[in-house]
Amino acid sequence: MSEHAAVGKLKGKFSGSVLDVVEFRGETTITVKKEDIVAICTFMKKDLGYNFLADLCGVDYLGQTPRFMVVYNIYNVTTKDRLRIKVPVEESDATVDTVSVVWATANWHERECWDLMGVSFNNHPDLRRILMPADWEGHPLRKDYPLQGPGREPYQGRLK
Amino acid sequence: MPKLIIDNREVTVPEGTNVLEAAQALDIVIPHFCYHEALGAVGSCRLCAMNFLEGPVEGLQMACMIKAEDGMVVSTVDEEAVELRSHVIEWAMTNHPHDCPVCDEGGECQLQDMTVAGGHSRRRFHGPKQTYINQELGPFIQQEKNRCITCYRCIRTYRDYCGGTDFGTFGSRNRICFGRFQDGRLESPFSGNLVDACPTGVFTNKVFRFKSRVWDLQEAPSICPHCSLGCSTIPGGRYRELQRVKPGINRETNGFFICDRGRFGYDHVNHPERPRQARLDGQQATVDAALTAAAQRVRQMVEQHGPDSVAFVGSARTSLEAGALLAEWAKRTGSPHLLFETHRERDRAARILVDRLGDRACSLAELQQSDLLLLIGTDLIAEGPMAALAVRQAVRAGAQVVVIDPRPIDLPCSCTHLPVGPERLPVFLDTLVTRKTEALTDAERNPLQALLEQLDAAKTPALLGGADLLGSRGISRLLDAAVALDNNERPVRVVGLLGGANSYGGALLTRSPRDFDTLVDDIQEGAIKALVCLESDPYRECFDPARAQAALGRLELLVSFDCTPNLAAQRADIFLPSRPVAEMAGSFINNEGRLQAFEQVIEPGISIRETSSGDHPPREFSLETPGALPRPAWQMLAQVLDLPGDLPAIRQQIATADERFDALTSLTADETGPRITDPVVLPDTAPDELPQCVPGETLPLLPVQGFAGSDWLAHLSAPLQPLEGEPTIWLHCDLAVRLGLAEQDQARLTTPLGHCHVTVRTSARMADNLVLVPHLWGTALEGLVPGGRHIDCRLEKEVNL
Amino acid sequence: MANVETMTINMGPQHPSTHGVLQLVLELDGETVVKATPHVGFLHRGIEKLSEHRTYHQILPLTDRLDYLAPMHNNLGYVLAVEKLLGLTDAIPERAQVVRVLLAELTRIKSHLVWLACHALDIGAMTVFIYCFREREHVMDMYEKISGARMTSNYFRVGGLSADLPVGIEQEMRDFVNDMPKHIETYEGLLTGNIIWQKRIKDVGVISAEDAIDLGVTGPCLRSSGVDWDLRRDQPYSGYENYDFKVIVDDGCDTWARYHARLNEMRESCKIVHQALDKLKPGPILADAPKVCLPPKQDVVNSIEGLIHQFKIITEGFKPEEGEIYVGVENPKGEVGFYINSDGSACPKRMKIRSASFVNLQALPKMCEGSLIADVVAVIGTLDIVLGEIDR
């Protein structure tokens, strides 16, 4: 399967960076170190043909270290393959290099990740809030941010 | 330690574990109904089938009935087993009524969970369902017989575990149902456990019925505040109202159950007259203003009249943190008067017990392992109901129980009862220490010698005593007896039933060798001019309420922190509204020295259903939640002392200042806490004042605790009202005859405090020449305090005019 | 060198042509746009955060409100994602799959009708607006008959459909798609030969294929730049591999190409609807997975087993395995993807909605800069954005 081929090639070139490979319901997820993300993404796009970044988001694993994961869902238009790359991000150093140099579409996705999750992106051309008002405090999609918003009586419904 | 393989995973379990538990050790949960860790396995539901592939047992077996053995290979996911389980569910569901939308159990219903887990989803049986006629079982339990799946858990809980006798099995074959011999209130004080034991909705909590769905409840692990045993509970509240209490699972203390007082005594949190506003000199004020005034006036009092003029009194129902901060306040003012119990005997007994208990402490789990239990001067059902249940489990395992007490003790197990007058109890204790029988009467000598022999032969003996009847002298002698009865192989364990949830903690914190009774003298003379009360009632819960009330009227300053409408709250110059256990986090130390934390369940506030009558125009909105002003006592005291107001900081502070409480900093509500044993400031000696039961013109009165009506918090709880009943007295049958009274007669009790109409009860199992008066709040018997000043009385038959 | 002074004006968030609450800050040099900066977030309702506190069944109505002009497509995408997470994709019965395709294509027609109506209205042709909305009413009536609601249908369920199609709806659908090509002819007749229309949209909003892929543009916008990519054909779902339809690809790269592409897509959708109606056979509409799928109502009412399953699935929710998946479907606007990360509990740990409009809007500055301000309106219309999807 070409998915495995991509994984094999990635492991060959960046053997030190690949932390984990998981296959679930026919989808492959590769966890890599965040320091190499730009190099890896450039490799994926230029050499392996994953020219389309479908989605970029952050996930908050409050209570675990590393706290955040930034997830890149990429797609190869020619071979019609999907692949997922994840980078773990510590809470103490919640920054990742921007991949908007690789895929221009990452620009707004990363802005949203910064806005809602608080993971900032180094060298981003325009890192500011996108969905929340510009003067908003806090990162709403984090797990420790209250569902009802700041300054209100607690949400009375299901919490998990 | 047998080792077996379940679903290709190896597990080693202690000897005697059944295979169902062994699977649970691997986090494999098999559907089951009738197996319960506390009730044992009977194999009646047939649901926990597993396929035993190899080993000493083979084939489709019920996992709960098979003990794990070496070499067993078991499969839980084997097709045959899965299919069998699905068919068993189908069979159980044949007659189950269509009740889920109206059944309270929904959301914590084991039947729902097992039906989905068992994989049975399509009904094949389309015939009529069997129905039964329900019984009225009293104010606590609602019965719906149609929902029964005959797992027998109710019987095993009520009869086997809790020792009830009025509940049983009816019918045979496929017409079995469970009920009381006739409609009426279930008699056992542990009847509420039927609610938890029943895996379907046959027995539901009648008080909680239709109030909330369980997933809407805000719940948190907490500790029951009603007696000194400190059982784990999980209170549940919704819409600013505490709606029910469920037992928490704590295998060291209460196990899986709680008593009815703990289960239905929560309503003091919602009491309509609960004080929620701070008051300053009779006017409503903000909490901050009242706190500032309190700090200021206490300081002024100290400046003007010296540190001895202020006394600080806590109680057994206040949290450890609040108590420690009260102690800090006392220390800063320099006042030597710091007490945590206004009730003299309970205070003194608690301090002596805490001082000497040490390694003799015995948890309820350990009590169940005893083979000989001596209950002397304690009525477990009234003073610590779950201890009675632990005693019963010991008896079921073969233990002997000897009870020496003037009261007609009812235990949920068989025992040997020696009903002697309260003045004989110290004599008995002396005999246990010295083994000299000269002071005993002829009738007493033989039983006591037999008892001594039994105690010597016993492998795990335990002595239990209560603070009210034994007093400090008696508790001290009880501990002497334990020392005397020790032998090389084993110590004798001691369980003391103390006054309240934090009696042990209060004893640790107390700094004055005086007790409250002597403080009352000082107040009467004017030496003490100010009193700071922390959740206590010095007017009524003391050795001599009449004298105390007279003296307290002379105070210049009374500051009271409380969450209940007692006299101190009403008459305080400065009143601060505090929170009950369910509305704050904190910790208690129970009677065996175990430090346990409780977490906040709900925020205080007047329940939503009370803030509007539902009419038009709609209710008014405000930014403040109505009735939300009360604050935790420790938080208010921290403000007085200028300390940071969050609990972790306060706990850190307390642990740093007092290394006895080191464990506070890492305490969580879910674990069983550590034991704290440390020396205590002991009380001065005081004369014994036990009533002498000799026949004469007047009769000695022995006020005692009852199961319902004697605990202040439980008295404020509306669901427990049906248990309180009318003022009652108990007489020995012979005494009743001599007085011309009979069972259920109306009589007139005359004491120096006044008259009271009472109902007469008689028993042959109690001491003669004695009038037993179960203490009942809210009646004329209120002033007769258990363990209080000895009073004589007269008793006459009430003549109907 | 001339000193160029630019004027910054604000377009929106309240503006008839922004298709919702979109704010465009335009830096103008005369009438030419030097820089266009979209500001979004005015319709942010926190759907992703809410999803973390809802069971999978409870999230379904929230997805209706994403791209509210193509609600059944959002439902479809979400339901497919959850089914993939549970491993149920192969267990969905045939009838449910055909109905899903049927309604998805009707939704596509509905969405494109709104696109055409608003696009034309912004540029000045009001008649087209009225005509398109008249056809759209037919679809909304069908929606109401099938699901009970005109717009936010909430019709699909995890495992199939919530209820079967009402009797007689098939004939109504057939009549609709029989008439539809005639209506499309009418719209073309009003617009395609119209000089004003051509002048307004030819060579407006040009974006090359490389830029489109780089910026993540999907849907008709991408296909009109010459990239042959349609998720229905390339990563088929719900049985799309069994349908015969053309993927409309155009090399034009401008608004004119996108206009034709969408009109032709409507025609292709009509074809697919015909094929689906032919394939429709009686059968079950829910997968056989009682722990996950809500039981049929007669089971709930007549048997205790159905009642218990309904009770537990609704109140507690089913708990999928731990894991993460991403499923994208071909929404009328582009690729709408659902990334669901499950931690084994009844609510998703994280649900990210990759919305087509959010990413397509990123391309707006590239398409607008250098054009006249009047072209901005045309570009917004041609991108076919829905703020509900952008802001979530």
CA distances from B585 to B211, B224, B320, B506, B630 (A): 25, 13, 11, 17, 14
Chain B positions touching A153 (Cβ under 8 A) are 625
pLDDT at B573 over 90: yes
A73/C326 CB distance under 8 A: yes
Characterize A50-86 residue by residue with b for buried, 16 or more Cβ atoms within 10 angstroms of its Cβ, and e for exposed. bbbbbbbbbbbbeeeeebbbbbbbbbbbeeebbbbbb
Residue A53's DSSP bridge partners are: A74
Give the helix ranges, DSSP H, for chain C: 47-51, 56-64, 71-86, 94-123, 126-147, 169-191, 195-201, 209-215, 220-223, 231-234, 255-279, 297-302, 304-315, 356-362, 364-368, 373-383, 387-391
Chain B positions touching A158 (Cβ under 8 A) are 215
Note the ipTM here: 0.93
Chain A positions touching B215 (Cβ under 8 A) are 158
pLDDT at B523 over 50: yes
pLDDT at C119 over 80: yes
The pLDDT mean for chain C works out to 91
pLDDT at B501 over 70: yes
Chain C positions touching A109 (Cβ under 8 A) are 359
Please return the burial class of B116, using the count of CB atoms within 10 Å of its CB with bins 0-12, 13-18 and 19+: buried
Chains B & C: contacts with CB separation below 8 Å: 51
How would residue B582 be classed by pLDDT, with cut points 50, 70 and 90? very high
Residues C99 and C360 sit within 8 Å (Cβ to Cβ): no
Residues B4 and B73 sit within 8 Å (Cβ to Cβ): yes
Residues for chain B: how many in total? 801
Smallest Cα distance from A147 to chain B, Å: 16
pLDDT score for C2? 62
Residue C13: both structure tokens together: 């968030």
**If you average pLDDT over residues B295-312, what whole number do you get?**
93
Is residue A20 domain-resident?
A: yes
Q: Output Rg (C-alpha) for chain B, integer angstroms.
A: 28
B215/C311 CB distance under 8 A: no
pLDDT at B402 over 60: yes
CA distances from B413 to B391, B398, B597 (A): 8, 11, 32
Is residue A50 domain-resident?
A: yes
pLDDT digits (tens, 9 = 90+) for B57-103: 888 989 999 998 888 899 988 899 999 999 999 999 999 999 999 99
User: Which range, A28-37, B182-191, B432-441, B619-628, has the best average confidence (pLDDT)?
Assistant: B182-191
Chain C positions touching A159 (Cβ under 8 A) are 53
Residues for chain C: how many in total? 392
C305/B113 CB distance under 8 A: no
Residue C351 CA to residue C360 CA, distance in Å, equals: 20
Q: How many CB atoms lie within 10 A of CB B106?
A: 21
pLDDT score for B760? 93
Number of domains composing chain C:
1
Is residue C226 domain-resident?
A: yes
C354/A55 CB distance under 8 A: yes
Residue C103: both structure tokens together: 């309604």
Beta strands in A1-159 (DSSP E): 18-24, 27-32, 52-60, 68-76, 81-89, 95-97, 120-122
pLDDT score for B422? 87
pLDDT digits (tens, 9 = 90+) for B132-158: 999 999 999 999 999 999 989 999 999
Chain B positions touching A156 (Cβ under 8 A) are 216
Domains and CATH numbers, chain B: 3-92 (3.10.20.740), 134-270 (3.30.70.20), 278-343+505-608+627-666 (3.40.50.740), 355-498 (3.40.228.10), 699-797 (2.40.40.20)
- Contacting chains of A (3 CB pairs or more, <8 Å) are B, C
Chain C positions touching B97 (Cβ under 8 A) are 304
Which member of C46, C87, C235 has the closest CB to residue A25? C87
B115/C291 CB distance under 8 A: no
pLDDT digits (tens, 9 = 90+) for C179-192: 999 999 999 999 99
In angstroms, the first-to-last Cα distance of chain B is 75
Is residue A65 domain-resident?
A: yes
Is residue C94 domain-resident?
A: yes
DSSP class of residue B719? G
Give the helix ranges, DSSP H, for B371-441: 380-383, 385-396, 425-434
**If you average pLDDT over residues C273-295, what whole number do you get?**
92
Residue C356: both structure tokens together: 């087509």
Residue B367 CA to residue B363 CA, distance in Å, equals: 6
Is residue A133 domain-resident?
A: no
Residue B540: both structure tokens together: 């009524």
Least confident of B124-128, B485-489, C211-215: B485-489
Residue A74 lies in domain: 2-93
Q: How many CB atoms lie within 10 A of CB A8?
A: 11
Q: Nearest 10 degrees: CA dihedral of C131, C132, C135, C137?
A: -100
CA distances from B553 to A86, B548, B557, B558, C7 (A): 74, 9, 10, 10, 82
Which member of C302, C305, C315 has the closest CB to residue B115? C305
Nearest CA in chain A to C85: A25
pLDDT score for B447? 87
DSSP class of residue B686? -
CATH number at residue A75: 3.30.460.80
Residue B321 CA to residue B470 CA, distance in Å, equals: 29
Chain B positions touching C297 (Cβ under 8 A) are none
pLDDT at B355 over 60: yes
CATH number at residue C285: 1.10.645.10
Number of domains composing chain A:
1
Amino acid (one-letter) located at B126 = H
Say how far residue C166 (Cα) sits from the centre of its chain.
24
Least Cα distance to A106 among A124, A128, A91, A93 occurs for A124
User: Strand, helix or coil at B40?
Assistant: strand
Q: Output Rg (C-alpha) for chain C, integer angstroms.
A: 22
Residue C232 lies in domain: 47-367
CA distances from B20 to B57, B83, C147, C370 (A): 14, 18, 47, 74
Q: Which helix (H) or strand (E) holds B493?
A: strand B493-497
pLDDT at A15 over 70: yes
Q: How many CB atoms lie within 10 A of CB A91?
A: 16
Q: Which residue has the tokens 């791209």?
A: C67
Q: Nearest 10 degrees: CA dihedral of C81, C85, C91, C97?
A: 0
Is residue C298 domain-resident?
A: yes
How would residue B611 be classed by pLDDT, with cut points 50, 70 and 90? low
Number of separate helices (H) and strands (E) present in chain A: 3, 7
Its sign, for the CA torsion B723, B570, B590, B403, is negative
Nearest CA in chain B to A151: B623
**If you average pLDDT over residues B232-239, what whole number do you get?**
93
**If you average pLDDT over residues B379-400, what whole number do you get?**
94
B215/A153 CB distance under 8 A: no
pLDDT score for B437? 84
Residue C170 CA to residue C95 CA, distance in Å, equals: 13
pLDDT score for B801? 52
Is residue C374 domain-resident?
A: no
Residues 6+ apart with CB under 8 A from C74: C63, C64, C66, C67, C331, C336
Instruction: Mark residue B242 as left, alpha or beta (left: phi above 0; alpha: psi -120 to 50; beta: remaining).
Output: beta
Q: How many CB atoms lie within 10 A of CB B258?
A: 29
Least Cα distance to B265 among B778, B582, B719, B774 occurs for B719
C345 touches chain B (CB under 8 A): no
Q: Which backbone phi and psi does B645 adopt, to 5 degrees?
A: -95, 10
Residue B267 CA to residue B244 CA, distance in Å, equals: 8
DSSP class of residue B250? B
Task: Convert B147-175 into a string of H (helix), E (strand) and C (coil).
Answer: HCCCCCHHHHHHHHHCCCCCEEEECCHHH
How would residue A1 be classed by pLDDT, with cut points 50, 70 and 90? very low
pLDDT score for B532? 94
pLDDT at B41 over 60: yes
- Contacting chains of C (3 CB pairs or more, <8 Å) are A, B
User: Strand, helix or coil at B523?
Assistant: helix
Residue B285's DSSP bridge partners are: B278
Nearest CA in chain C to B113: C312
pLDDT at C253 over 60: yes
pLDDT at B299 over 80: yes
CA distances from B796 to B536, B739, B742, C24 (A): 35, 8, 11, 95
Amino acid (one-letter) located at B550 = A
Least confident of B418-432, B640-654, B656-670: B656-670
**If you average pLDDT over residues C76-97, what whole number do you get?**
93
C residues 279-338 near B, CB within 8 Å?
Answer: 290-291, 295, 299, 302-309, 311-313, 315-316
> Cα angle vertex B213, ends B210, B219, to 5°?
120
The pLDDT mean for chain B works out to 90
Q: Nearest 10 degrees: CA dihedral of C52, C56, C57, C59?
A: 40
pLDDT digits (tens, 9 = 90+) for A72-110: 999 888 888 889 999 999 988 889 999 989 999 999 999
Amino acid (one-letter) located at C76 = L
**If you average pLDDT over residues C79-100, what whole number do you get?**
93
Smallest Cα distance from B564 to chain A, Å: 26
Say how far residue B629 (Cα) sits from the centre of its chain.
28
Is residue C12 domain-resident?
A: no
Q: Interface of chain B against chain A, CB under 8 Å?
A: 215-216, 625
Residue B594's DSSP bridge partners are: B675
pLDDT at B753 over 60: yes
Is residue A98 domain-resident?
A: no
Is residue A111 domain-resident?
A: no
* Percent of all residues in chain C with a pLDDT value above 90, rounded to a whole number: 69
B625/A153 CB distance under 8 A: yes
Chain A positions touching B625 (Cβ under 8 A) are 153
